[in-house]
Amino acid sequence: MIRLNLSATPEWLDLAPGLRLLVCPLTTALMVSARADPIIEALPEEASQEDLALAMAKSVARRAVLDWDGVGDDAGNIIPVSPEGIDALLEIWPVFEVFQTQYVAKGLILDAEKNVSAPLPTGPSAGATATALPARGAARTARQD
């Protein structure tokens, strides 16, 4: 089941202790715009999945991040949100990972759900149909030499 969040209100996304981003809701328009980013389109055909993921995350973040707390320059001065600052922030591996899993992945999960690929209730084989007959009985204990 898809749970709709009908609120268009931006929400704070906690990325690390003392670091949070104010992000707008992840909408279809935002994702379509991010996919059409000239930086994404300029990636070579042979670009790795990692390069594509980083470029896409930066593209999404440049469109979604409205404000932030806990981001400063080398001297510790608070800096305003900027496309360059967002790109630099996502170059920090733990920040990138949390942004991917807590913000971008939500949109991808919904994308998978619309393809009728709902997650199974209790593990990867919970919805699988058995194709083999049950075993006749318990196996004998192996010999010990």
Is residue 51 within a helix (H) or strand (E), and if so which, with residue range?
helix 49-64
The DSSP 8-state label assigned to residue 133 in this structure reads: P
pLDDT digits (tens, 9 = 90+) for 83-102: 999 999 999 999 999 999 99
Nearest to 18, CA basis, from 84, 68, 85: 68
3-state class (DSSP) for residue 14:
strand
pLDDT digits (tens, 9 = 90+) for 10-24: 999 999 999 999 999
Average pLDDT over residues 65-77: 94
Output the pTM of the full model: 0.69
| Closest by CA position to 101, among listed 57, 67, 64, 37 | 57
Amino acid at 50: E
CA distance 78 to 72: 4
